Amino acid sequence: MPEFEKPDHWDTAAEHYEKTAHPFTARYAEAALARVALTPQSRVLDVAAGTGALALAAARTGAQVLATDFSPGMIARIAAADLPNVEARVMDGQALALPKASFDAVFSIFGVIMFPDWRKGLAEMARVTRPGGHGVVATWQERGAATFLLLGQIRQKLFPTHEGMTMPEAVKALSEPENFGHELVTAGFRDPQIEHVTYNYELDVAALTTPDTLFGMSPDWISLNDAEKAAVIAEVREMAGDRSFLPIPSAALIGVAQR
């Protein structure tokens, strides 16, 4: 079983994720929210919420938000925000313990794509969305984003015979808009609209002094030996040149569909 399918992996990563990935994924969460009109009367579900980039942003609209994730560590970070209109619960997105047609909008920002049975995750999203409501899913293109994407590209250049990190099956399956739309319809949604969204992840070159923190628990990093890690760091520095921040364009697809 890949590490990203284990709750304890995300429990361990939660604090680091909140500091590093959350601010970046929040930009995609805001882009997703901009595509659905929410009001204080809206009931919103965030599936595989992580540390709550989408849930906390949705709460600012006044909507009533339920954030779910299979990682207690992630849910604890959301609960710590202590917002009156946000509830956070540990829950398996492949089998939501929620009644059907109970939410106006159901989101999953880079969450359901990590599921072993991601099609079941999409179907569960559709099941709990009310007729006329919206389902919104964000997925990465290529080989992920930010430092994961950069590291994969550098490994391919420097160590082409090394086997790279296994990406979630859904990332490949949903990487083309036509396929993405088809899967949303199969799950129970209709009229899907798929849009490309790209933001730059700004890698702080100063963070290369603590690369284990920068690259985290990525298998593409921890599988390298010390000499290989040093070569990766040197490559990043060369790419950055005299810049303090190295932009890493990270492409995603955001799918919006009605129930």
Asked if the structure places residue 60 within a domain, the reply is yes
Q: pLDDT tens digits for the chain (259 residues)?
A: 555 556 556 556 667 777 778 899 999 999 999 999 999 999 999 999 999 999 999 999 999 999 999 999 999 999 999 999 999 999 999 999 999 999 999 999 999 999 999 999 999 999 999 999 999 999 998 778 999 999 999 999 999 998 887 888 999 999 999 999 999 999 999 999 999 999 999 999 999 999 988 887 788 899 999 999 999 999 999 999 999 999 999 999 999 999 9
Structural domain count of the chain = 1
CATH number at residue 103: 3.40.50.150
d(C-alpha 101, C-alpha 127), whole Å:
6
- Give domain status of residue 217, yes or no: no
The whole-angstrom separation of Cα 112 and Cα 106 is 11
| 55 is a domain residue | yes
For the chain, how big is the Rg over CA atoms in Å?
A: 18
Domain assignment of residue 7, given as a range? 3-143+167-199+249-258
Q: DSSP assignment, residue 6?
A: -
User: Rounded to 10 degrees, what is the CA torsion of 226, 227, 228, 229?
Assistant: 50
8 A C-beta contact, residue 120 and residue 93: no
- Per the CB < 8 A criterion, the answer to whether 250 and 201 are in contact is yes
Instruction: Please report the beta strands in the chain, taking only residues with DSSP state E, as ranges in sequence order.
Output: 43-46, 64-69, 86-90, 103-109, 129-140, 190-204, 245-258
Helix (H) or strand (E) holding 112: none
Q: Residue 33: CA atoms inside 13 Å, Cβ hemisphere, count?
A: 24
For residue 72, CA distances in Å to 43, 76, 134 come to 23, 6, 27
In-domain check, residue 14: yes
Contact predicate 138/250, CB 8 Å: no
How far apart are the two ends of the chain, measured CA to CA in Å?
32
pLDDT of residue 219: 85
- Residue 124 CA to residue 155 CA, distance in Å, equals 37
Would 20 be classed as within a structural domain? yes
Please check whether residue 153 lies inside any domain of the structure.
no
Would you call 234 helix, strand, or coil by DSSP? helix
| Inside any domain, residue 231 | no
177 found inside a domain: yes
Q: What are phi and psi of 229, to 5 degrees?
A: -60, -40
